Amino acid sequence: MAAPTWIRLPRATLILLLLALHLSLSVAAQFEGFDSDELPHATAADLASPDDDEEGLDLDVDLPAPPPISVSVSVSAPSPPVTTTTAANPNLNPTTPPNPTPSLDFWDEDEFEGIPVPEAPSSDASSTPAEFTPSDPSAADAAEAAPAPPRSPAELLRAFSIEIACVSFLICFLLNYFTGKKQNEAIALAWATKFATRDSIFDKNFSLLGTGDGKDTPLLLKEGQDVFKFYASGRRFCQGMLATMEMRARHDLLSKLLELVFPRKDTITFEVVMNEESMDHVMVAVARKKAAKTMQKEERDLQRFASVLPLAPAGKKWVADELAVVAESKEVAGDMISEAVLDQVLGEKAFEKLGKWFISLHFSDQLAGSYKKVLSFKFVLPDANNMAEMTKLVALVPFYIDLIGRYKLSSHARSKTDAARTKAAQEAFRELQGVRQETLLRKKAEKKKLMEEAEAKLSAEVLRKKEEKERNRQMKKGAPKVKMLRS
């Protein structure tokens, strides 16, 4: 369910964040304790880990008077080198290194830690932020010297360049999200206003519009910021029609940048599911030449039944030169691409004007998928102000529903298409049978295995009894039947 995941996730993030923070703090704390123990053994180690020393020192400085003594005791041995290297600004350094260990025996220099040079710890404290700046990879001394003068804005800018760049990109992303979302919605609404509201073409053709009960529900279904769906149902010859608008990802800044290299267009795809009895053996696809070839190779039904028609059927006007027709039978293709269609959309003259909005048509009664008899139209969606330009294309949808709904193949064409279909149907049936047999065999084998296991588990006694029973039964079967005569 959605609800529990929602509740669980913020808690999970919170817990993880807390864990991460705790871990990081504990690790930091560990390092503090660590140096204090390790330092006496190697003076080289001090120079290597100046940060940790400072943190140890900070701890000392922050606490009130009594604790420092106790802390310094635990820190005892390492501290002299600690105080010498870190408390030292370059001036002090040359003087103190000469006597690291001997001081241990006589007095505890730590006791004087907090007192001498309070500037030293504070300068160390101020140097710690310097450690964090990414532009300061050099040794501790340089780091200490740098923060002394106030940091100019230019330096800060350079120091936090990554953060500034990323945060500003995120802000731009957020702004673009809202503007892009509005733009996409405007286009979808413009389309719906033109073609799906009262007295529009779809209202006149379908009784149920929208995805709800059609009374109060909105017409469009939004599936993501760039995908909108429009559903209509209740017409003769078809079960329903789904129009899917897939737009450019205007709401996503990264996709927009990618589109500079790979341009995309807003598209709308109409899918009409025809009734079983309303569609005869029609398999036709029309698209631009390259797209048609790809379709013929990729779509399973076209691959199996249809081929690209190289020439127009004799003597007829045909589609514009840019387009290619993929069909099973020339005759059916000719009937589908009627005069009216050629005049309005697909012919030479009409295509000059409407060509930029047309992508493809695909009618099939053997589609691979959940629905077999589907008409599919793919057009480019014009922008919000020019919706009227695709009126003729949208009008193709109800036109073809009726044309195909009423169409019956001639006997000549039918004989050809029938042969191919029956072969395909037989193959499908055989495959189904094969699968069914396989499952049956598998089940039988499993049952046998189970029975054998059960038998093996039974004790010897029970087995003997069973065998006796079996033998008796066999004998009864074999023995001659004795009929009792009543005399």
Partner 1 sequence: MKEATTSGGPSAGANDPRQPTTARPYAPPKLSSQDLPVDYAGFLAVVFGVVGVMMHYKVCSWIAIIFCAQSLANMKNFENDLKQLSMAFMFAVMGLVTNYFGPPRPGSAKR
* Footprint of partner 1 (CB under 8 A): 2, 5, 9, 12-13, 16-17, 20-21, 24-25, 27-28, 31, 48-49, 51, 131-132, 134, 137, 162-163, 166, 169-170, 173-174, 177, 204-208, 210-214, 221, 223-225, 227, 231, 233-236, 239-240, 242, 249, 251-255, 340, 344, 370, 392, 395, 398-399, 401-403
- Work out how close the CB of 185 gets to partner 1 at its nearest, in angstroms, rounded to a whole number: 14
The answer to whether 237 and 405 have CB atoms below 8 angstroms apart is: yes
Q: How far is the CB of 131 from partner 1 (least distance, A)?
A: 6
254 vs 440, beta carbon nearer partner 1? 254
By C-beta, is 43 or 233 nearer to partner 1?
A: 233
Find all residues with CB under 8 Å of 268, minimum gap 6, and list them.
191, 243, 244, 245, 246, 378, 379, 380, 381
Under DSSP, the state recorded for 346 is I
Whose Cβ is closer to partner 1: residue 92's or residue 177's? 177
Distance of closest approach, residue 122 Cβ to partner 1, in angstroms: 19
Taking the complex as a whole, the smallest distance from the CB of residue 68 to partner 1 amounts, in Å, to 24
The first and second tokens of residue 241, run together, are: 């029609």
Residue 358 CB, nearest distance to partner 1 (Å)? 15
CB-wise, 24 or 193, nearer to partner 1?
24
Closest distance of CB 306 from partner 1, Å: 25
Closest-CA residue to 127 (of 145, 108, 101, 100): 145
List the one residue out of 309, 346, 353, 350 whose CA is nearest residue 331: 309
Helices and strands, counts by H and E, the chain:
21, 10
Q: Hey, how many other C-beta atoms are within 10 angstroms of the C-beta on 352?
A: 11
CB 235, min distance to partner 1, A? 5
What is the torsion angle, in degrees rounded to the nearest 10, for the CA atoms of residue 129, residue 132, residue 137 and residue 143?
Answer: 0
**Based on CB atoms, which residue is closest to partner 1, 10 or 66?**
10
Nearer to partner 1, 293 or 407 (CB): 407
Nearer to partner 1, 48 or 435 (CB): 48
CB half-sphere exposure, 395, CA atoms < 13 A: 10
Q: Which amino acid is at 362?
A: H
- 375 and 401 Cβ atoms separated by less than 8 Å: yes
Q: Phi, psi (5° rounding) for residue 164?
A: -60, -45
